Amino acid sequence: MKKSARAVKKRGVAKTGRTTVPKSVPVRPKLIGISDIRRYFHRNEEPIYFISATPFNLLGIDEWVRNFHFINYIDCFDGKHPSVFVPSPTSHPVFESIEQINNHLLRHPEVERLVKDAMMGAADLIVPLEVTLGAGSNWLAAH
């Protein structure tokens, strides 16, 4: 027996296409073609953070994606790039991997404050968060 859209809506679930998603998950438009993709990211309201040692992997994307920010360990632009945030230096062991650099950045008090003040957003890492902070990490849920 197929449930009606009204019955689904009453349970607090929005129906999109073939799948149902919780109401708290924003319904995103279907993007068809490059112009739709460009327009979608050009109008982006949600902060997106790229967390890595340097911004070079995605350098220039902040010109195409509105509200795109870099959180980096090394300031390659001597503070002159408006989308790059580099927290102040703190003591830490010698880094042996990109995961350790990402861990350091994610646990830095200034980065935590930055993300918390934004109250929303998405993070992009070269290494998945589960690998960086370990399975079961609640870093994103806490921020």
Kindly report, residue by residue over 83-109, the tens digit of the pLDDT.
999 999 988 889 998 888 988 998 899
Largest CA-CA distance found in the chain, in angstroms, rounded: 63
Q: Would 115 be classed as within a structural domain?
A: yes
Percent of the chain clearing pLDDT 70 (strictly above): 64
Q: Is 96 a domain residue? A: yes
Q: Which helix (H) or strand (E) holds 130?
A: helix 129-133
What pLDDT, on a 0 to 100 scale, did the predictor assign at position 46?
86
How far apart CA 77 and CA 109 sit, in angstroms, is 22
Alpha-carbon gap, residue 113 to 31, rounded angstroms: 33
pLDDT band at 143 (very low <50, low <70, confident <90, very high): very low
Does residue 73 register a pLDDT over 90?
A: yes
**In total, how many domains does the chain have?**
1
Whole-number pLDDT of residue 87? 95
Asked if pLDDT for residue 137 goes beyond 60, the answer is no
Q: In the prediction, which pLDDT does 80 show?
A: 93
Which pTM does this prediction carry?
0.66
- Return all residues near 94 (Cβ < 8 A) that are at least 6 apart: none
- pLDDT given at position 124: 64
Asked, for residue 62, whether it belongs to a domain, the answer is yes
Mean pLDDT for all residues in the chain: 76
Q: Which domain holds residue 78?
A: 44-142
Q: Which one, of 41, 38, 37, 8, lies nearest residue 17 by Cα? A: 8
Which tens digit of pLDDT belongs to each residue from 18-59? 555 455 656 778 899 999 999 999 998 888 888 899 988 888
Residue 127 in any domain: the answer is: yes
DSSP H helices, 19-76, are 34-42
Residue 120 lies in a domain: yes
| Inside any domain, residue 36 | no
119 vs 81: which has the higher pLDDT? 81
